Amino acid sequence: MFDDEITVNASPITIDACIDWYPFVAGVFDMGNFALKIGRSFMAYIFLKAVKGMTQATTAFGAAYSTNGVSVQLFGTLRERVSAANGGMNVIAIGTAVALANCSLQGNYQVEIGEEMNKVGYLDQYLGVPLIGINNVLVPGTTNTTATLALPDDIIYIIPVGGVRPVKIVFEGDEVSVSFNPDMTSDRRYGISVEMRVGVEAVVGSKYGTIDL
């Protein structure tokens, strides 16, 4: 990536919503909760785009940086490869709690780590690599149907701590613009459009590892 120019184009993302006028002026409309839902909607959208970018980036890592399943040998070898490919950097493992739960020592070690596993769902470290869980989000439109989770539970990423982030997120212009919809009757309901210009692209500048479960 150091001998080429990369362009990330931002595109407008709009959320349209309405506020009932009479509950609002009566003081029973929770504006804070309304704004929080809009913010979470933008966050979920950006998260989904980042997950998509991360998935696309994995195809550029190469077969040598991917393993199937978790074992001491497979995990340890992949850790060493990712670290060595990035100049000896320390690495971390990220994934959902379900995915990270697969990183567990066997035998008598379970007697001492069982309490930690039950509290968090996964170990704090595995073979010297910190395990960091990522909170999942639902794919928009599936909340009342399939409740599809954005981040899969069958993959773990091994990432160099000081490496180039594989997903770039850019914002263009004013971060948020709010406008009123003139088609709505102002004495009954306000129509509000909230717009943010966001661009998300996969940019592979460091070697990462993936573990397919």
- Give yes or no for a contact between 65 and 85, defined as CB atoms under 8 angstroms apart: yes
pLDDT score of 116: 67
Q: Is the dihedral of CA 131, 137, 138, 139 positive or negative?
A: negative
User: What is the band of 185 on the pLDDT scale with cuts at 50, 70, 90?
Assistant: low
pLDDT score of 115: 65
Q: Determine the length of the chain.
A: 213
- Give yes or no for a contact between 172 and 199, defined as CB atoms under 8 angstroms apart: yes
pLDDT score of 113: 63
- Give yes or no for a contact between 94 and 157, defined as CB atoms under 8 angstroms apart: yes
Q: Which residues contact 89 (CB under 8 A, 6 or more apart)?
A: 83, 160, 161, 162, 163
Average pLDDT for 115-125 = 79
Is residue 84's pLDDT more than 80? Answer: yes
Who wins on pLDDT, 154 or 184?
154
Q: Determine the Cα–Cα distance for residues 90 and 118; give it in Å rounded to an integer.
A: 27
